Structure 1
Amino acid sequence: MTLLDFHESPPAFGHAMLKYFAFDPDYVNLNHGSYGSLPLPVLAACNKLTLRIESNPDLFVRVEQTKLITKCREQIAKFVGAKTSEIVLVRNASHGLNTIMRSFEWKTGDVIITCSTTYDAMAGLARFLHDGPGNPDVSQFVIQWPTSHADILAGYRAHLRSIPRHSGQKVVALIDSITSVPGALMPWQELVQLCKEAGVYTVIDGAHSIGQEMNIDLGKADPDFWVSNCHKWLFGKRGCAVMFVAERNQGIVKSSFPTSKVYKSPSDRASPGETFIEQYNWNGTIDFATPLSITAALEFRAWLGGEDVINGYCHDMAMRGGAHLASIFGTRVMDQTGEFTCNMVNVQIPLPTDVQPSEALDALFYQKMLAPTNRKTKVSAAVFHHNGAWWARCSAQIWTELGDFEQLGSVLAEVCREVAREGQAH
């Protein structure tokens, strides 16, 4: 029996899809990539499961829960081309990446490789680990647009060769599959191969990948570790994520976080990965209706027509919408060739280049966009500074139409004028 029960065919993509989401009618959402957007049918499935759980919590947690978790893991493993034994569910991408990175036994001389585009919380994690026991060094690889996949690969190869190496040293590369800002597809599979050749562990931050990046095949790409949010592009309930740990590395991740009651000391294990799955099936009381929403999300996506149909529309809308917004502003898109673009497009906005980024400026932007006092329409797109210019990262989804980019353009032009004026006044 499926969690979703549809008696109608899906409407055409565009504004007709808005009836399946709970958006304020005055809200133009071009920032799906930040927090995800929960479809109402998936929410209904979660509510149905919640009632089932609450009807007999003991029965569900002690008897039924593990079967549903196993089914969910099997579905996701197939979706990303991994073995079920390599897949567990975690709270969010940051949770999974912290679990992995804190599991390494760091020693003086070890190295963590980050990028200038590494998500800020993960860059903070690298600094935290550097400040802790073992003091691993942090080596940053710089990426700036305009660039190309070929240039990134050539530069990364040179960066790997520049790191002094010695016997017994660990080098761990934190690699984004799709960077957050700018929203850009990385040649991460090729970067994994470069790291393999150099004897470097790969930890892939795939927060934006599942549900947006087509044809993920972890078996073929063969990273050491990979984590992706399922509440962003896959349409799961916020927050849930999937963590992949290759079987060869399950001895590194010795404990779930928090540590489960089934934890065994390495000396007591029959194999390095013994209890790996079981630790994530139960490591404290949480509402498993949230991670189990992945099953309902996959059913909803199948009803919509599947991955090719969904991402075909969203990618096309990102490319056309980005070009349209750039023409409204008289500016440009960051990715001129399209090789970095999945369903997020980065467009330069008309804010003077001498306006410098700050937390106060970020707050001012989002206050004016999301809670305006002078207009009815509320809009959302991620605004950021890169390489001397200001940009908007726009997420295209199944409800997006070109008119949404026009509304964003109208509001952002006004907000840019206000921000520049208030910034000069201060």
Structure 2
Amino acid sequence: MTQLESDGGPPPFGHAMLKYFPFDPDYVNLNHGGYGSLPLPVLAACDKLTLRIESNPDLFVRVDQTALITKCRAQIAEFVGAKMNEIVFVRNATHGINTIMRSFEWNAGDIIVTCSTTYNAIAGLVRFLHDCPGHPDVSTFVIQWPTSHAAIVAGYRAHLQSLPRHPGQKVVAIIDSIISIPGALLPWQALVQVCKELDVYSLIDGAHSIGQEPNIDLGKANPDFWVSNCHKWMFSQRSSAVMFVAERNQGIVKSSFPTSKVYRSPADRAFPEETFIEQYNWNGTINFVPPLSITAALEFREWLGGEDAINSYCHNMAVRGGAHLASLLGTRVMDETGEFTLNMVNVQIPFPPSVQPSHALDDLFSQKLLAPTNRKTKISTYPFYHNNTWWTRCSAQIWTELADFEVLSDVLKEVCQEAAHELQAVA
């Protein structure tokens, strides 16, 4: 990281950090949680590695690549408190969850448990599995704000206890560690324990966890499966994610997706987890620069001051920024107690609650926020509908300042008014 070495210590968090990201100067990024943001020093490391690969692709793929993947796996395993042989890389969290869920041999009477707040692509996967032979049933636990961690744990226990059970049945629960929409921390470790008590597999959708959630300890939490993106909050290149499969469950995930050349039928394996790691080290030609950029991302984060410093600033900014935005809009934050808030905050926006969500409305919001025709400033945030109210999810990052929420307030007032007017005209 030559640039960082020449820069000496990092500047203070806030707008001084913008020079380390390739953002358009007219763009205010309050949706980092959507797709992640690649720091320039990590981008430089990616470019350097790309040139190394292209100088001799055969040498890199056949000789060098596995050692670098192994190094990254060791770093991530330590970061999340897992055994190294339980950690592999996948494209993104959705890819990893598909790999796990498609590995189960579903039968009639099996149950997949989701939440009303389950990420839309994962909800789509569950509908697909229900439609396929085996036809597992789907049971949805409803989460609506206002609520509390204690209420969610108690309600979830009651929900699982209410499910019809029979011998030989599989029940698999998909649980967000941090919900995408609304952006909210769930008491997922406690929910994992509930699953264990009631003989339910726990699959944790940790898409937003790495780099945002402090002190991840998979060894202690002990879920059955866990998947997280590294390109969101950790600052690796898009797309890169880590998949954790507990040793005891590696016989379930028999094949990588796509299937690797080293796949062996279960009957031909000396032990269930044989070839588990090797399948993910090579299952087709892809660009391995994104997962390998994890090393550079971790170096950048260490240079910034480490995980505690980064997340302390981002969390504080999310809390202060959310309160400030709500005050400017004359509305409120969704999580008034703060127990659900890490580095994302949900704020009510002045949009008619009678307007229902739609793809057309999503496109309209995106156009007016990101590609306006009447102003220079472009801004990203995530408007959404929950419990008969319109909200926006704001991501606080190391470059964020309160002034960004002030810009957002002005733009949201304008956009909500314009969108409501245009929808009314169409109606």
In the superposition, the TM-score normalised over structure 2's length comes to: 0.99
Match of 2:146 in 1: 146
1:25-424 matches, within 5 Å, as 25-424=25-424
What amino acid is aligned across from residue 155 of structure 2 in structure 1?
Answer: G
Are 1:256 and 1:280, in contact at CA under 8 Å, matched by a contact in 2? Answer: yes
Deviation for aligned residue 1:99: 0.1
Q: Aligned partners of 1:131 and 1:143: how far apart in 2?
A: 25
- Are the counterparts in 2 of residues 4 and 300 from structure 1 also a CA contact under 8 Å? no
Aligned-partner Cα distance in 1 for 2:273–2:231: 27
Q: Specify whether residues 187 and 293 from structure 1 end up closer, same or farther in structure 2 by C-alpha distance, changes over 3 A only.
A: same
Q: CA deviation at 1:3?
A: 8.5
Q: Aligned AA for 2:345? A: V
Local SS of the residue matching 1:204: strand
* Amino acid paired to 2:54: E
- The 2-side partners of 1:362 and 1:57 are apart by 42
1:239, 1:48 → 2: CA distance? 18
SS at match of 1:291: helix
Counterpart of 2:407, as a letter, is Q
Give the deviation of 1:371 after TM superposition.
Answer: 0.3
Q: For residue 292 of structure 1, what is the amino acid of its counterpart?
A: L
- Output the amino acid matched with 1:313: Y
Residue 384 of structure 2: SS of its match in structure 1? Answer: strand
CA displacement at 1:238 relative to structure 2: 0.5
Structure 2 residue identity aligned to 1:91: R
Q: Percent of aligned pairs with the same residue?
A: 78
Closer, same or farther in 2 for the Cα pair 1:154/1:4, shift >3 Å? Answer: farther
Q: Secondary structure at the match of 1:227?
A: strand
| Residues 59 and 3 of structure 1: CA distance in aligned 2, closer, same or farther (over 3 Å) | farther
SS in 2 for 1:244: strand
> How many Å apart are 1:353 and its aligned residue?
1.2
Q: How far does residue 356 in structure 1 lie from its aligned partner after superposition? A: 1.4
Q: Residue deviations 1:341-397, cap 9 Å, x none? A: 000000000111111111101100110000000000111101000001100100000
2: distance between equivalents of 1:297 and 1:305?
13
How many corresponding residue pairs?
425
Name the SS of the counterpart of 1:167 in structure 2. Answer: coil
Deviations 1:393-424 (A, max 9, x none): 00000000000000011001100000111111
Cα RMSD (Å) of the superposition?
Answer: 0.8
Question: What CA deviation, in whole Å up to 9, does each residue of 1:123-144 have, x standing for no partner?
Answer: 0000000000100000000000
Are 1:22 and 2:17 an aligned pair?
Answer: no
**Alpha-carbon distance in 2 for matches of 1:288, 1:165:** 43
Q: Secondary structure at the match of 1:374?
A: coil
Shift of 1:6: 2.0
Rounded Cα–Cα distance in structure 1 between residues aligned with 2:355 and 2:166? 45
Mapped partners of 2:288, 2:356: distance in 1: 43
What is the rounded CA distance, in whole Å, between the counterparts of 1:44 and 1:369 in structure 2? 30
Structure 1-normalised TM-score?
A: 0.99
1:4/1:42 contact within 8 Å kept: no
User: Closer, same or farther in 2 for the Cα pair 1:5/1:397, shift >3 Å?
Assistant: closer
- Report the Cα distance in structure 2 between the residues aligned to 1:113 and 1:287, rounded to whole angstroms: 34
Helix, strand or coil at the partner of 1:290: helix
Is 1:11 matched with 2:11?
A: yes
CA distance in structure 1 between the aligned counterparts of 2:204 and 2:228, rounded to whole angstroms: 9
Cα deviation for residue 4 of structure 1 reads 7.4
Give 1:232 deviation, angstroms: 0.2
Deviation (angstroms), 1:5: 5.3
Confirm or deny: 8 A CA contact 1:4 1:45 kept in the other structure: no
Per-residue Cα deviation, 1:68-98 (whole angstroms, up to 9, x for no partner): 0000000000000000000001100000000
Q: Which moved more, 1:76-85 or 1:3-12?
A: 3-12
**2:174 and 2:218 mapped to 1: Cα distance?**
16
